[in-house]
Amino acid sequence: MAHQTVPLSNSHVHPIFQELFNNLMKHEILHVERILGSCCFDRCQAQADVCDIDTGMGYCRTHFREVHRG
């Protein structure tokens, strides 16, 4: 997952608020990545990007599509 600065829509936002907001977003993204872990597909070591809600298992995008095709 790419980390980017999320611009706020109001140009009059205090710079410290923007920095705090960006740090909070980075922290939350890292938290989600730790929860997902690695892809659950056999022998795949890629970072899991998608969680199957029915099973709770995380998959990379390629294997998620493969698992849910048929």
Q: What average pLDDT does range 11-40 have in this prediction?
A: 86
What is residue 68's predicted lDDT score, i.e. its pLDDT? 86
Q: Tokens for 40?
A: 């659950």
Over residues 52-67, the pLDDT tens digits come to 888 889 999 999 999 9
Tell whether the model's pLDDT for residue 20 goes beyond 80. Answer: yes
pTM of the model: 0.54
Q: How many C-beta atoms lie closer than 10 Å to residue 44's C-beta?
A: 14
Domain ranges of the chain: 38-70
Question: Residue 4 — pLDDT band, cuts 50, 70, 90?
Answer: low
